[in-house]
Amino acid sequence: MGVTYYQKAKASVCPVDPQSSRAAQVSFQLPAGKEIRPNFGNIDVTNLDSVYQRSLSLERDHPDRIADYFEHAEAIAAQDRQMQRMYGVPNHPYFGRPMTLLPMTGMMVEGISEMVQRVMRASKGFVEGLFEGLRTSLAKDPETLSRMNRNLMKSQILNVVLPAVMASGMVVGIVQDIVKAVTGLYQLVTNFDEIATAAVKLIKAILDDEKAAHGFGKLVGQQLGQKIGKLSRLGVIRFSFEVGRILGPIIASIAVAFTGIGVGALAVKFGREFLRWATRFPRIARLVDGLVTLGSKSGRGGKLIAYVTAAMASARSGITSRHVQVFQRVASSNGGQNRIIAVRFTNLKSTKWIDRGYPGKPMSVKVKTSDKTGIVTVQKHGPKTTPESHIQDAYSAGYYIVDGNGVARNKAGQALDLPSKTDWPLEPGQVIDPRLKKPLVGDYDLHSVIKPHNKGQNIVLATQDGKKVADASNPDLRKVAKALNDGMDQPRVLHGAHDGYAKLSDAGNGVVAFHPDGRIQIFNTVNEMEDFFESIGRQTIKGAYPSGPLPDVLPNNVLPLRRKD
C-alpha cells in the first residue's frame, strides 16, 4: 500500500463517543490542502464504529447466540464461521496490511499495528495476568471482581473468534489519546525511525514471551483496576471494546514514551512500575537501556532520559527515586564530591518503607531484612535462621524485638508501647527502634567510593591501637557518606564501603554506580562488577590478600594498601 508522508501534516481528531454511530473521526490536513483518511489494515478508521455497532446489535438482539457460544466453547471453529457470515467481514481483517494511522514513518504505524496483533496472540497470558492484577486492585470489591472475571474470560474467547471488537477499541483509544502527541514528535527528533524501530522491538519482546505478557497484563491490571472495574457491568461486546480502548494507548505510550514526549501522564503514571517490572527480564531491560541511549541522540529527551535513567536505577537497586537524586548530586563533579559512588542493591521490599521514613539498619545489627516484607526480622526457622549472637547484638544496641504475642520487648523483657494499629504489617521477630517506634529496614550499603583521577586507590584504616576496626573506612569515604546522609531524611549510609572489607563475590545481587558526569551504571552480576574493577585497575581489600583473611590483630594503625598502576 503506497503512502505519502508529510512532515508538516496536522491531525484533526473528533471526540469519541462509543455509543454514537461515529466512534472515531480522523483526518490529516496536508500542506497542499489534500486530505488523507488513514486506514487500519484495509478498514477505514472512520468506519470502525460499524463493526462495533453491529456487535452491540448482535448482543442486544440475539443474546441467545452469544450465550450459546460461550457455553459451547469447544465449537469455536463453527461459531467462528457463523460470526463471520453475520458480520460480513473477512477473517482477521485488521491484520492483513500495515496500518497507516499517523502521517510520519511506516515503521511506527506498522509497529502499532503489530502491537495490537501481538496482544491478540498473547491473549491467554496477557488476560490471565490482567485478571491477576485486577484481583489485587479490586480485592475489597469481590462482587465487581467476580463480574470482571466472567467478562474477561468471555472476552478472551470472543477475541479468538472476532478480534475486531477489542482491536476496534484499541485503535479508537490510540487515535484519541496518542495521535496528537505523536504527530508533533516527527518534527522534534532527528532519529525517529531508529527510535520507532527500537520501541517496536521492546513491545515484541514483552508480548512474544508468555511469562512477560502475563506480567505486563498483571501490571496493567494493578495500575488500572478501578478504571477497568467500572466496565464490569457491561455486556461482553461493549466490555471488550472499552477494555481495548484503555489498553491501546497504554501499549502505544510505551512505544513513544522514550522519545522525549512521554514525560507527563503517560510515562510518569506507568514509568516506575513498568521499569521495576522490566528489570526482571534481561532482554527487555537491555532494550529499555537501548531506548534511553537513542532518546539522548534525539536532542529532545533530556528530561526523559534523566527520568528513565533514575527510574531504572531505583527500580533495580531499591534506592528510592528521591535518594537516587541525592547520590547523583553528591557524585557530581559540578558542586558535588566528584566521586564514583557504587552502591549495593538493597532489598526491593524495603524501598517503600525507606520512602516513608522508616529507620535504616545500622552496622551493629546483623539481623537480615525479610524477603517478604523488607523489614529487619529475626528468623526462627529455616535456612536463614538468625544466629542467637545476632539477636543479642540487637538487644545490646538498644533495640526491641517483637515477640510471639505481637509485643515489642527489650533484652530485660520491658514492653514498648506501639500503636494499637501499626502502619506496617506487624510480625514476630521484627527489630524495633524505640525512639521512632518503627521497625528497622534496609540501609544503603556503599560498595565503593572511587576517585576518578586515581581509580585503583583503595586505602582503609584496618587497625587502631593494635585492634582490628569494626568499620573499615577512610576520611574521604566518611566525607562522602556525610554528604549523602545530609541530603536524606535521616542517616542511611551507616558504615564503610564493601570493597574495604570483603570480596566482590560477597556483594549480593548487584551494584549501581553513580558517576561524576551524571551517568548511572547498573551491574547485575558479580562478573560485571569484576570486569569493571579490572578495567579501572582496582581490587577490594580482600583481593589484595588472596592468601587469606586479615588477622584479628595487626601492628598499630596499619593501612592495607592495594594500588594497581
Residue 293 phi/psi, 5-degree rounding, is -65, -45
* Residue 182 confidence (pLDDT): 45
* Residue 407 confidence (pLDDT): 95
Query: Of the spans 195-199, 306-310, 372-376, which averages the highest pLDDT?
Result: 372-376
* Residue 485 confidence (pLDDT): 94
* Residue 482 confidence (pLDDT): 94
Tell me: do 105 and 201 sit in the same domain: yes
**pLDDT bracket for residue 352 (50, 70, 90):** very high
386, 415, 437 - which closes a domain? 437
Mean pLDDT lowest for which of 131-135, 187-191, 483-487? 187-191
Alpha helices (runs of H) in 33-141, residue ranges in sequence order: 48-61, 63-71, 76-87, 106-121, 123-137
Residue 314 phi/psi, 5-degree rounding, is -65, -45
What pTM did the predictor assign?
0.56
* Residue 343 confidence (pLDDT): 93
Say how far apart CA 108 and CA 178 lie, in whole Å.
12
Say how far apart CA 490 and CA 484 lie, in whole Å.
10
Residue 298 has pLDDT above 60, yes or no: no
Q: Where do we find the cell 552496622? A: 363
* Residue 265 confidence (pLDDT): 46
Average pLDDT over residues 462-478: 69
DSSP secondary structure code for residue 258 in this structure? I
DSSP secondary structure code for residue 261 in this structure? I
Say how far apart CA 248 and CA 551 lie, in whole Å.
63
* Residue 226 confidence (pLDDT): 67
Tell whether 282 is covered by a domain.
Answer: no
Whether the Cβ atoms of residue 246 and residue 134 lie closer than 8 Å to each other: no
* Residue 72 confidence (pLDDT): 40
Q: Which three cell numbers stand for residue 494?
A: 551507616
Tell whether 307 is covered by a domain.
Answer: no
Residue 159 has pLDDT above 60, yes or no: no
Instruction: Please indicate whether residue 558 or residue 130 has the higher confidence score (pLDDT).
Output: 130
Say how far apart CA 458 and CA 163 lie, in whole Å.
62
* Residue 11 confidence (pLDDT): 32
pLDDT digits over 438-450, tens only?
999 999 999 999 9
Residue 40 has pLDDT above 60, yes or no: no
Residue 466 has pLDDT above 80, yes or no: no
Q: Where do we find the cell 467462528? A: 80
* Residue 389 confidence (pLDDT): 95
* Residue 125 confidence (pLDDT): 65
pLDDT digits over 410-436, tens only?
999 999 999 989 999 999 999 999 999
Average pLDDT over residues 38-51: 41
Domain count within the chain: 3
Mean pLDDT lowest for which of 39-53, 109-123, 242-256, 468-482? 39-53
Tell me: do 339 and 428 sit in the same domain: no
Average pLDDT over residues 399-415: 95
Residue 184 has pLDDT above 70, yes or no: no
Residue 369 has pLDDT above 90, yes or no: yes
Nearest to 532 by CA among 511, 517, 557, 556: 511
Tell whether 65 is covered by a domain.
Answer: yes
Query: How many percent of the chain have pLDDT more than 70?
Result: 43
Instruction: Please indicate whether residue 155 or residue 181 has the higher confidence score (pLDDT).
Output: 155
Query: For residue 92, with 0-12 CB atoms within 10 Å meaning exposed, 13-18 middle and 19 or more buried, which class applies?
Result: middle
Strands 467-473, 415-416: pairing is: unpaired
* Residue 109 confidence (pLDDT): 37
Nearest to 517 by CA among 372, 224, 309, 323: 309
**pLDDT bracket for residue 526 (50, 70, 90):** confident
437, 468, 497 - which closes a domain? 437
Residue 67 has pLDDT above 70, yes or no: no
Nearest to 239 by CA among 87, 74, 18: 18
State which residues form the domain around 460: 318-345+444-562
Tell whether 394 is covered by a domain.
Answer: yes
Average pLDDT over residues 253-257: 57
> CATH number for the domain including 526?
3.30.70.1720
Query: How many percent of the chain have pLDDT more than 90?
Result: 22
* Residue 142 confidence (pLDDT): 73
CA trace torsion 71, 76, 78, 80 (10° rounding): 110
Say how far apart CA 443 and CA 490 lie, in whole Å.
11
Tell me: do 236 and 377 sit in the same domain: no
Tell whether 288 is covered by a domain.
Answer: no
Residue 34 has pLDDT above 70, yes or no: no
Tell me: do 460 and 522 sit in the same domain: yes
**pLDDT bracket for residue 278 (50, 70, 90):** confident
Residue 185 phi/psi, 5-degree rounding, is -70, -40
Tell whether 306 is covered by a domain.
Answer: no
Instruction: Please indicate whether residue 426 or residue 267 has the higher confidence score (pLDDT).
Output: 426
* Residue 403 confidence (pLDDT): 95
Tell me: do 421 and 535 sit in the same domain: no
Q: Where do we find the cell 547523583? A: 328
Residue 38 has pLDDT above 50, yes or no: no
Tell me: do 474 and 514 sit in the same domain: yes
Residue 559 has pLDDT above 50, yes or no: no
Tell me: do 229 and 375 sit in the same domain: no
* Residue 411 confidence (pLDDT): 94
Tell me: do 506 and 550 sit in the same domain: yes
437, 464, 491 - which closes a domain? 437
* Residue 172 confidence (pLDDT): 55
Q: Where do we find the cell 499517523? A: 102
Say how far apart CA 190 and CA 184 lie, in whole Å.
13
Tell whether 353 is covered by a domain.
Answer: no
Tell me: do 427 and 510 sit in the same domain: no
Per-residue CA distances from 319 to 97, 100, 440 (Å): 45, 42, 16
Residue 146 has pLDDT above 60, yes or no: yes
Average pLDDT over residues 181-203: 54
* Residue 122 confidence (pLDDT): 52
Tell whether 514 is covered by a domain.
Answer: yes
Say how far apart CA 404 and CA 389 lie, in whole Å.
19
* Residue 399 confidence (pLDDT): 97
Whether the Cβ atoms of residue 240 and residue 147 lie closer than 8 Å to each other: no
Instruction: Please indicate whether residue 496 or residue 563 has the higher confidence score (pLDDT).
Output: 496
* Residue 360 confidence (pLDDT): 94
Tell me: do 393 and 516 sit in the same domain: no
Say how far apart CA 534 and CA 216 lie, in whole Å.
37
Residue 515 has pLDDT above 70, yes or no: yes
- Find all residues with CB under 8 Å of 32, minimum gap 6, and list them: none
DSSP secondary structure code for residue 458 in this structure? E
Tell me: do 424 and 507 sit in the same domain: no
Tell me: do 171 and 119 sit in the same domain: yes
